[in-house]
């Protein structure tokens, strides 16, 4: 049993968390879409978004800055040029939209463009970020990471990873609430792969049932991540979808409210199969 709210207040939507929601990833970064002009990127992003919705995605997560280990940072201008046209086009589709960003300026513009959720890998730590979200009606995902994407995988270091991640999330949640963000708008995420070695990821994954007692719904993102590559003897990201589906299903069975995935169709199939054959939670 989970103690968190069963309805997430997210901008235009009230999202029921009675069943796990599937968040489909729409990357608008040059390393995910082959070169070409802005228009190609916009078209490709919209096509991809359409497909993910057809496959059963409940939320679309739009990101214009790669935060993979070692990725370079991008400017506010570049990130906005990438994501704003996509957000503006998707707004009319009347589906829950999430912006994956850690920049307050991008959050503000995305909120003005009508997004419903701010997904921040830095848990609103950037100066001004708490206020931008507080002065809106969007939901927020507060994620834990250790260090910065450029260097976070060099030497992740914890005494007790589960304890440290839990404390961090509880603290950030409290700060968000103090800033005026209602608990019904908050989602927490242990941040798999963000400044975590394989053993840290494993410990956190196994601790998921306990983390659901942190009073907010949990989002889990393990899709195609290197921890799965390690389980599969170094298999590259494109070959990790079956492992990703298995891990998403296990996360949902451990109480995750939202799973963030690339392979939407297979993940939705797995959730539906569980729902039909199993007893939930």
Q: Is 141 a residue that touches ligand 7PJ (CB under 6 A)?
A: yes
- Cα separation, 280 vs 262, in Å, equals 24
62 vs 121, beta carbon nearer ligand 7PJ: 121
Q: Are 17 and 257 in contact (CB under 8 A)?
A: yes
58 vs 189, beta carbon nearer ligand 7PJ: 189
Instruction: Lay out the site mask for ligand 7PJ across 220-239 (x = CB under 6 A, - = otherwise).
Output: -x---x--------------
Which stretch in 6-14, 45-53, 167-175, 187-195 sits in contact with ligand 7PJ by CB under 6 A?
187-195
Indicate the helix (H) or strand (E) that contains 187.
Answer: strand 186-189
Query: Residue 90 CA to chain centroid, in angstroms?
Result: 18
Q: Are 196 and 156 in contact (CB under 8 A)?
A: yes
Backbone angles phi, psi at 235, to 5 degrees: -60, 135
70 vs 278, beta carbon nearer ligand 7PJ: 70
Q: Got the DSSP string for 133-168?
A: HHTS--EEEEE--SS-TTTTTT----SSHHHHHHHH
Among 12, 68, 91, 281, the residue binding ligand 7PJ under the rule CB under 6 A is 68
Residue 68 CB, shortest distance to ligand 7PJ, in Å, is 5
Query: Coil, strand or helix: which one is 258?
Result: strand
Among 79, 116, 189, 266, the residue binding ligand 7PJ under the rule CB under 6 A is 189
Residues forming the active site: 225, 260
Q: Sign (positive/negative) of CA torsion 76, 77, 81, 85?
A: positive
Among 119, 201, 244, 267, the residue binding ligand 7PJ under the rule CB under 6 A is 119
Which stretch in 102-110, 164-172, 219-227, 270-278 sits in contact with ligand 7PJ by CB under 6 A?
219-227
Among 260, 261, 264, 268, the residue binding ligand 7PJ under the rule CB under 6 A is 260
In this structure, the number of other CB atoms found within 10 A of the CB of residue 145 comes to 23
Q: Is 219 a residue that touches ligand 7PJ (CB under 6 A)?
A: yes
- DSSP state at residue 237: G
Output the CA torsion 72→172→217→22 (10° steps): -10
Q: Is 143 a residue that touches ligand 7PJ (CB under 6 A)?
A: yes
37 vs 116, beta carbon nearer ligand 7PJ: 116
Q: By Cβ distance, which residue is nearest to ligand 7PJ?
A: 221
The site for ligand 7PJ (CB under 6 A) is made up of 67-68, 100, 119, 121, 141, 143, 189, 191-192, 219, 221, 225, 260
């Amino acid at each position: 049993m989970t103690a968190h709210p069963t309805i997430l207040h997210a901008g235009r939507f009230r999202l029921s968390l009675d069943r796990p929601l599937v968040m489909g990833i729409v990357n608008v970064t040059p390393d995910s879409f082959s070169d070409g002009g802005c228009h190609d990127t916009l078209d490709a992003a919209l096509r991809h978004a359409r497909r993910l919705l057809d496959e059963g995605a409940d939320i679309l997560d739009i990101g214009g800055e790669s935060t993979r280990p070692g990725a370079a940072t991008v400017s506010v201008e570049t990130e906005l040029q990438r994501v704003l046209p996509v957000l503006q086009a998707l707004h009319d589709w009347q589906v829950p939209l999430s912006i994956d960003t850690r920049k307050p300026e991008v959050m503000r513009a995305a909120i003005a463009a009508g997004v419903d959720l701010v997904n921040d890998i830095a848990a609103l730590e950037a100066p001004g970020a708490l206020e931008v979200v507080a002065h809106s009606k969007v939901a927020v995902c507060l994620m834990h990471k250790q260090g910065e994407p450029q260097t976070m995988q060099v030497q992740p270091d914890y005494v007790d990873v589960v304890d440290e991640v839990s404390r961090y999330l509880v603290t950030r949640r409290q700060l968000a609430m103090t800033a005026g963000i209602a608990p019904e708008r908050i989602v927490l995420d242990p941040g798999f792969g963000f400044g975590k070695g394989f053993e840290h990821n494993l410990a956190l994954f196994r601790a998921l049932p306990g983390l659901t007692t942190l009073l907010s719904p949990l989002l889990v993102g393990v899709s195609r991540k290197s921890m799965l590559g390690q389980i599969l003897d170094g298999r590259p990201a494109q070959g990790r979808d079956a492992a990703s589906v298995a891990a998403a299903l296990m996360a949902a069975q451990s109480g995750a409210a939202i799973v963030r995935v690339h392979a939407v169709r297979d993940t939705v199939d797995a959730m539906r199969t569980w729902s039909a054959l199993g007893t939930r939670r």
